[in-house]
Amino acid sequence: MNRREIRRCPFKDPPPSPSVTPKGGNRGNWDQGERRRQRSQSVFGWRDFEISGSHTDITSCAKEPSLSERSIWNHTATYRPSLYRAHCDRPPLYRDRYGAAVRTVRLTGGRAASHLLAAGFWILLAVRVQVEAAEMGSSQTSKGTGRALNIGAMSPRWLFVLAVLLQAQTWGWSLTPRKTVRFHGVSEVHQSWNRGVSQVMTLTLDESRGALYVGAREVIFSLDLSNIGKELRPPIFWEAPADKKEECAQKGKNNQTECFNYIRFLQEYNRTHLITCGTYAFQPKCAYIDLSDFTLDTNNLEEGKGKCPYDPAKGHTGLVIDGTLYSATMNNFLGTEPVILRTVGQHNFMKTEYLASWLNEPNFVASAHISESIGSETGDDDKIYFFFTERALEYDCYTEQVVSRVARVCKGDQGGARTLQRKWTSFLKARLLCSVPELQLNFNHLQSVFTLQADQWRSTQFFASFQARWGDSSVSAVCQYSIQDIQKVFDGPYKEYREQSQKWGRYSDAVPSPRPGSCITNWHRNNGWYNSLELPDNTLNFAKKHPLMDDSATPSRGRPLLVRKETNFTTLAVHRTLGLDGELYDVLFIGTENGWLNKAVSFGSSVHIIEELQVFDRAYPVHSLAVSTNKFLLFVGSLSGLVQIPLADCSKYRSCADCILARDPYCAWSLNRSRCVRADELQR
């Protein structure tokens, strides 16, 4: 049969267990080995079953003539354990030790890595069994008695090695992409844009206007969202004056790399204007862009201190919420005064307390606004979350340790009346943990965070990429956190510094009422506290001295989604898409330090790296990513410019097998067209 004539099997759910019998096996062996074989599917490969009763024999599924496009299986039919593993072509048949028919599959990508680890497990187990058998043989020769091999009797050292191997394959240690596409292959479907621009710092999507706003060094562009090669408006050149550059150089900064105006902030302020901030040769300034003619008034610049970093290399994050700017950056020329600030708008000016227990040499990474007031039965307030790394004070180490943090403040915070005047009364922070405990590997260096908003704020998910050193190797990971798990941490116990022992520990005494660090809710209002200005001093003093929570925010699955060795992740974006089976799948786009892009998809408890793309011809770090759901495009920014690529290039999968085995939720095999197409084309 020609490979292109193969059809998918119409089964969507497994038949009842009494009607399933392995080829060549008996029912007793099947029942006895069922659970063991399910656990070891990644070792033995994909199984074929003979369906008795009213079900069609799977060996004849390729001849089934009445399949419509809407019944075509996409990646989910070949991945989810509850579905049959039907193939487009028929690999050789063999039988396992239980008599079940098994078809071999050429292992590729992440599945190959999983199988190698699994193979390592079985090899070590076999070696250990051989050793034990040899020992038993020598000891039992004279006695003539038998003895069963017992894995439970293995030494702890052997069990630890085997456990690490099995764990590694379950959570995706060092997943290998199924497909690697070099630059010449990517360039066939991507659009690049440079215009002699360096240092693309910010990307802002405007889906309603079909525009992509790009902030780089001393210039801002308005590009066509469908084709970045087309400029919708003439660019805005916003250069730092010559005298500012000279002053910057006189203060010891590099006039070749630092003394320029790097656009670090560019967001929609309202429906008619953008707000932008730049480093302005170490004298940060902010301005507004009129969207009607895409112009910036350089004669009416605003002070950018606290809104934008002085140093273009320093971390920064900011949000505009209802006309109010929330920013986290360094507040002075030397970069020694970190601040989380609220300015520009109707709310009172607010900032963090300048204490090491609040912020200690932080590097700000990301921020998110969560509308927790919507549908709140307690009358809760919206919250703004900040993600950063800092030097931890709470660990007993000879050297200070860098850790990742998540902090939050309340949108309606007005500060205290006497204590914490014009300072956040709701500031709390906790450690953001991403680790592999059995390997004692902690990913402490947070690189990027993507907030995946949902229809209900309680379903909000945060995806974070991290870097770490493990021996002589660099290792990167992605962890996922739920908003509700983070909420529990901020509702939990506090950590305090004990003067007598000079150590940090969990605060175990009585907590003042109302609870320090909480937002104003209906309970507060019913008890006479209508805003933070009315909170008692004992609550505010406690909040000032106890900003750190004792518990850590842990990943949703207890461990990383994926880990890659010898790779440095720099940034990530996530898109949630609807599969042909009606389920939602999270597709991760992860930029690296050497100009590559990893595309991965989350399947329940596992992650599969579909492909890695070399999006730049040189090893430029990927600085920024933006996803346009309307245009089905991904925008990738780096030092050298900007690249536009489709979220999926299904046409590169030339066969049914290639299309299905890719497990790309954007792609599916069309029977009518005999080619791999975008899945949404079959749903139209």
| DSSP result, 219-287 | EEEEEESS-TTSEEEEEEE-PPPHHHHHHHHHTT--TTTTSS-BEEEEEE-SSSEEEEEE-TTTS-EEE
Which contacts qualify for 600-604: CB closer than 8 Å, 24 or more apart?
A: 600/175, 600/478, 600/561, 600/562, 601/75, 601/663, 601/664, 601/665, 602/480, 602/561, 603/76, 603/79, 603/80, 603/663, 604/80
Instruction: Tokens for 532, please give them.
Output: 């933070």
pLDDT 10s digits, 565-601: 989 999 999 999 998 888 999 999 999 999 999 999 9
Mean pLDDT of 349-368: 97
Spatial contact of 284 and 315, defined as CB atoms under 8 Å apart = no
CA distance linking residue 363 with residue 360, whole number of Å = 9
- Write down the pLDDT at residue 143: 39
More confident residue, 196 or 308: 308
- Write down the pLDDT at residue 344: 77
More confident residue, 99 or 236: 236
pLDDT 10s digits, 223-241: 999 999 999 999 999 999 9
Spatial contact of 579 and 76, defined as CB atoms under 8 Å apart = yes
Mean pLDDT of 60-83: 33
- Write down the pLDDT at residue 640: 80
Does pLDDT of 557 surpass 60? yes
More confident residue, 458 or 166: 458
- Write down the pLDDT at residue 154: 39
CA distance linking residue 82 with residue 479, whole number of Å = 26
More confident residue, 134 or 432: 432
Spatial contact of 109 and 607, defined as CB atoms under 8 Å apart = no
More confident residue, 137 or 612: 612
118 DSSP assignment: H
- Write down the pLDDT at residue 34: 41
CA distance linking residue 358 with residue 335, whole number of Å = 16
Could you count the other beta carbons within 10 Å of the beta carbon of residue 415?
22
Mean pLDDT of 283-308: 95
- Write down the pLDDT at residue 176: 77
Among 2.130.10.10, 3.50.50.60, 3.40.640.10, 3.40.225.10, what is the CATH number of 322-455+483-558?
Answer: 2.130.10.10
Residue indicated by tokens 């005494």: 509
- Write down the pLDDT at residue 476: 96
Instruction: Tokens for 326, please give them.
Output: 């929330």
- Residue 193's pLDDT band (boundaries 50, 70, 90)? confident
For residue 682, count CB atoms less than 10 angstroms from its CB and return exposed for 0-12, middle for 13-18, buried for 19 or more. buried
**Number of residues that this document lists for the chain:** 684
Share of the chain above pLDDT 70, in %: 73
- Write down the pLDDT at residue 419: 97
Could you count the other beta carbons within 10 Å of the beta carbon of residue 408?
24
Does pLDDT of 548 surpass 70? yes
Does pLDDT of 74 surpass 90? no
- Is omega for the bond preceding 514 within 30 degrees of 0, making it cis? yes
- Write down the pLDDT at residue 500: 84
- Write down the pLDDT at residue 189: 64
Question: Of the ranges 151-155, 199-203, 293-297, 519-523, which one carries the lowest mean pLDDT score?
Answer: 151-155
For residue 394, count CB atoms less than 10 angstroms from its CB and return exposed for 0-12, middle for 13-18, buried for 19 or more. middle
Mean pLDDT of 274-302: 96
- Write down the pLDDT at residue 331: 95
- Write down the pLDDT at residue 680: 85
CA distance linking residue 429 with residue 425, whole number of Å = 12
Does pLDDT of 188 surpass 90? no
- Write down the pLDDT at residue 317: 98
pLDDT 10s digits, 638-647: 988 899 999 9
Spatial contact of 406 and 488, defined as CB atoms under 8 Å apart = no
Spatial contact of 403 and 486, defined as CB atoms under 8 Å apart = no
Q: CB within 8 A of 49, min separation 6: which ones?
A: 20, 21, 22, 23, 58, 84, 101
Mean pLDDT of 609-636: 93
SS (H, E, C) 322-389: CCEEEEEEECCCCCCCEEEEEECCCCCCEECCCCCCCCCCCEEEEEEEECCCCCCCCCCCCEEEEEEE
Q: What is the pTM of this model?
A: 0.77
More confident residue, 563 or 124: 563
CA distance linking residue 174 with residue 441, whole number of Å = 14
What does the mean pLDDT of the chain come to? 79
The domains of the chain are located at 3-107, 110-171, 322-455+483-558
CA distance linking residue 34 with residue 21, whole number of Å = 11
